[in-house]
């Protein structure tokens, strides 16, 4: 990534310019670089952002419990480097099951906040797979549609 390093030096360390160089670089968007699996806290935060839900004291406590149930104890990273960033560290049968359970509970509580069918299409555009789109469209209720969207491969990845 010589182009990113060159932009860093040319801008006297301007992080905004460096970030632009990184995100504009063609290597950052190559399809063979698979998206990573979200850590539990990222999953929860992205769901709250998507639905524009506030984070009050009650939501923080419930969120911390949900994240912990999915295998990430907040404030207790396993090493000084923080939480693992590899998909393999968050992708196991038990972890997936817990994520689906979380998606069902979260959707049951917040199904009235938005139309998941529309949100999925707006969020992903062309990157929403035909399979995921069909499953969400065939949902029996708004809560089920939201749970399917939250549990979908597209939403689970960053």
Give me the residue spans of the domains in the chain: 1-33, 40-156
Does the pLDDT value for residue 32 go beyond 70? no
| Look-up of token digits 């010589």 | 2
Percent of the chain with pLDDT over 70: 92
pLDDT band at 83 (very low <50, low <70, confident <90, very high): confident
Degrees to nearest 5, angle at CA 82 with 100 and 25:
85
pLDDT given for residue 56 in this prediction: 78
Angle at 135 between CA 133 and CA 136, to 5 degrees: 65
Average pLDDT over residues 35-55: 87
- 137 is written with which tokens? 């469209």
Instruction: Give the pLDDT score at 37.
Output: 83
Average pLDDT, the chain: 85
Collect all residues with Cβ–Cβ distance below 8 Å to 10 and sequence separation of at least 6. 17
- Tell me: pLDDT of 111 over 90: no
Contact 129, 155 (CB under 8 A): no
Each residue of 5-25: pLDDT tens digit?
888 899 988 889 888 888 888
Q: Kindly state the average pLDDT of the residues 15-41.
A: 80
Over residues 120-137, the pLDDT tens digits come to: 998 888 888 999 999 999
CA atoms within 13 A on the CB side of 57: 0
User: Are 123 and 131 in contact, with CB atoms under 8 Å apart?
Assistant: no
- Cα dihedral 158, 112, 132, 70, rounded to 10, equals 50
- Interior angle at CA 70, CA 65 and CA 74, nearest 5: 55
With a cut of 70, say whether residue 29 has pLDDT above it.
Answer: no
pLDDT number for residue 143:
94
Q: How far apart, in Å, are the Cα atoms of 76 and each of 23, 54, 72, 82?
A: 30, 24, 8, 8
- CA 77 to each of CA 26, 98, 131: distance values in angstroms, whole numbers, following the listed order: 32, 19, 35
Greatest mean pLDDT among 8-12, 18-22, 31-35, 138-142 lies in 138-142
Give the residue carrying structure tokens 């932009």.
7
Mean pLDDT of 103-113: 92
């Amino acid at each position: 990534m010589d182009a990113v390093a060159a932009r860093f030096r040319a801008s006297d360390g301007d992080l905004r310019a460096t970030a632009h160089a990184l995100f504009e670089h063609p290597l950052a968007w190559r399809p063979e670089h698979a998206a990573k699996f979200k850590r539990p806290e990222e999953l929860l935060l992205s769901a709250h952002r998507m639905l524009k839900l506030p984070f009050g004291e009650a939501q923080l406590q419930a969120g911390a419990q949900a994240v912990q149930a999915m295998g990430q104890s907040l404030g207790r990273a396993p090493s000084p480097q923080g939480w693992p960033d590899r998909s393999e560290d968050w992708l196991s049968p038990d972890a997936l099951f817990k994520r689906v359970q979380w998606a069902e509970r979260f959707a049951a509580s917040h199904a009235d906040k938005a139309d998941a069918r529309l949100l999925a299409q707006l969020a992903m555009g062309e990157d929403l797979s035909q399979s995921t789109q069909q499953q969400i469209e065939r949902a029996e209720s708004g809560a089920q549609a939201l749970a399917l969207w939250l549990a979908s491969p597209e939403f689970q990845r960053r």
